Amino acid sequence: MTRISLWVSVAVIATLFGWGAWQRRWIADDGLIVLRTVRNLLAGNGPVFNAGERVEANTSTVWTYLLYVGSWVGGPLRLEYVALAVALTLSVLGVVLLMLGTARLFAPSLRTRRAVMLPAGALVYIAVPPARDFATSGLESGLVLAYLGLLWWMMVCWAQPLRVRPQSQAFIVALAFVAGCSVLVRPELALIGGAALVMMLIAARGWRRRALIVLAGGLLPVAYQIFRMGYYGLLVPGTALAKDAAGDKWAQGMIYLSNFNQPYLLWVPVVLLVPLGIVLMLMRRRPSFLRPTLAPDYGRVARSVQSPTAVVVWMLVSGLLQALYWIRQGGDFMHGRVLLAPLFCLLAPIAVIPVLIPDGKDFSRETGYWLAGAVSALWLGLAGWSLWAANSPGMGDDATHVTYTGIVDERRFYAQATGRAHPLTAADYLDYPRMAAVLVALNNTPQGALLLPSGNYTQWDLVPMIPPGSAPGIPGDLKPQHTVFFTNLGMVGMNVGLNVRVIDQIGLANPLAAHTERLKHGRIGHDKNLFPDWVVADGPWVKWPPGIPAYLDQQWVAEAEAALKCPATQAVLNSVRAPMTLRRFVSNVLHAYEFTQYRIDRIPLNELIKCGLEVPRLPPAPPRD
């Protein structure tokens, strides 16, 4: 009965989650950013967003290469559909693994008892609408769920079989490898994977086993970190630099937490789950429940660390640390997104629960019925809340409005902006303001141009190229170039060719913007804003009226052009633009810390003063008739 009810619960939750996620399917603009990198990989340009400029525009390394492999398996399928299928599959798999890990946690206590296994924490998770929104989205959210579910299941397995027969070396290596990959799934998950590795090292018997754990857990992350430093010239992903992940915005983080909690009253399942967990813990401590027979050569500390209790504490503390990290960071501009992984961790130890059938062995029938009734009543309350939360309107009228909080329901925002209930492909985003006009502007400028967003949603402001050979530094054989300067990198990047450079003012794909200072009161996730004057200065574009739009100042453009000659700035730009050679790779590794810390001032004049460069003086304008 116990096993059957478990698999029924798993099947029901997987079906409900998969169906609910499919009903809310979409691919976010940020998801399309990843696919632009995959396109460059397929084209042989390397893991970059723009060919010839080594910028790591994606946070999750594993997600990028997983989609790259998936594109080969998918064959003729569009990349968007590959991302949709992989994300949805991994999301459902993550919830399944979470439930199986928790069921294994309770297994020793149920060997001589009959029980009905019911979904609890897993039901809470899939009831939260953002969980179903980001089960697709093209982002790495599904990968994070699958990773956390797998690590939880493996850690529970590691904690339980402490019997006379030790675990196989292959399993230990596999667990260490999975734990070590945390930082490549998402950098902040290193808090979880790193803690798991520390627990394994403490519990390991012998230095040989410890060395094996270190090698298996650290080889791939360390190798990739060396690659990142040499190839991108940074210690962290480009997205972490663009968002200054080391900074803190506690007040905004509390606003984000409230924004996630309020629409769904998340305190309600907490009130129900805490006493439910306490009752289950009390039931597990009954003397008749089977306990594992510990190996005789295990010390007290090792036994304490490699135990189900320690693994539960590890998962709960990891969830709390993840939540605190994101609150400190200020959260995100996408409603609920970054708090989903912490919620997933906190719900893991009670993802499924056993409702014991009273038999009078471990408890009197009266006590057994009382306990079963209490668990059942709490579960029914949880199920009622889940039904209500699953149909919640979420943020309501503010879902698609960028208010003072800066937080929106990203899926609903893009569905409304494109007029499509399920924006999935890059072509669907051509209905987004300015998008169709991008293609028109590119087709109308075969001689090359810089495209700047206009106040008119049906057109772009164009800055023409300087004719080849007509100015110093402009080669005579320079081919026509196009650059688009816009916030929404994904939809632009996937709708234009790879020969078109696409950059933003935030710094996700723009090395100049990434190295500016974070704005104190900027919108969360959009904390940097590079003036377009820098973009005009940093390219073969006309830098004087009437070639530049009226809202640009020619003096500012000239000052930005001069500021780009600052030796430190040149070194940073060369680290990502100069041809990749062995010497360049080694130089980038040696200077990665310096480049990561380097910042430029958004105001060109301030940057000139900081670098000690001369302020350019423009010739006086000719007199008007």
3-state secondary structure at position 599:
coil
Radius of gyration of the chain (CA): 28
255-256-258-260 Cα dihedral, nearest 10 degrees: 160
| Residues 350, 99: Cα–Cα separation, whole Å | 8
pLDDT at position 106: 86
Helix ranges (DSSP H) in 538-601? 554-563, 567-577, 582-597
Residue 239, Cβ density class (10 Å: 0-12 exposed, 13-18 middle, ≥19 buried): buried
Tens of pLDDT, residues 584-614: 999 999 999 999 999 999 999 999 999 999 9
- In order of 50, 53, 55, 510, the CA distances from 588 in angstroms are 19, 14, 13, 18
Token pair, residue 384, equals 């009622």
pLDDT at 366 over 70: no
Q: Token pair 């946070």 is at which residue?
A: 59
pLDDT at position 398: 81
pLDDT at 68 over 70: yes
Evaluate whether 350 touches 276 at the Cβ level (below 8 Å).
Answer: yes
Q: What is the helix, strand, coil percentage profile of the chain, to 5?
A: 60, 5, 35
The strand pair at 449-453 and 352-356 is best described as unpaired
Structural element, H or E, at residue 465: none
Evaluate whether 278 touches 100 at the Cβ level (below 8 Å).
Answer: no
Q: Percentage of residues in the chain with pLDDT exceeding 90?
A: 72
Residue 316, Cβ density class (10 Å: 0-12 exposed, 13-18 middle, ≥19 buried): middle
| Preceding amide of 546 cis, omega within 30 | yes
Tens of pLDDT, residues 235-249: 999 999 998 877 788
Token pair, residue 218, equals 């650290």
Tens of pLDDT, residues 320-357: 999 999 999 999 999 999 999 999 999 999 999 888 77
- In order of 432, 461, 545, the CA distances from 455 in angstroms are 14, 9, 19
What's the rounded mean pLDDT across residues 134-143?
95
pTM of the model: 0.93
- Who wins on pLDDT, 452 or 477? 452
Tens of pLDDT, residues 383-409: 999 999 999 988 888 888 888 888 999
| Residues 404, 523: Cα–Cα separation, whole Å | 8
Nearest CA to 307 out of 531, 156, 130 is that of: 156
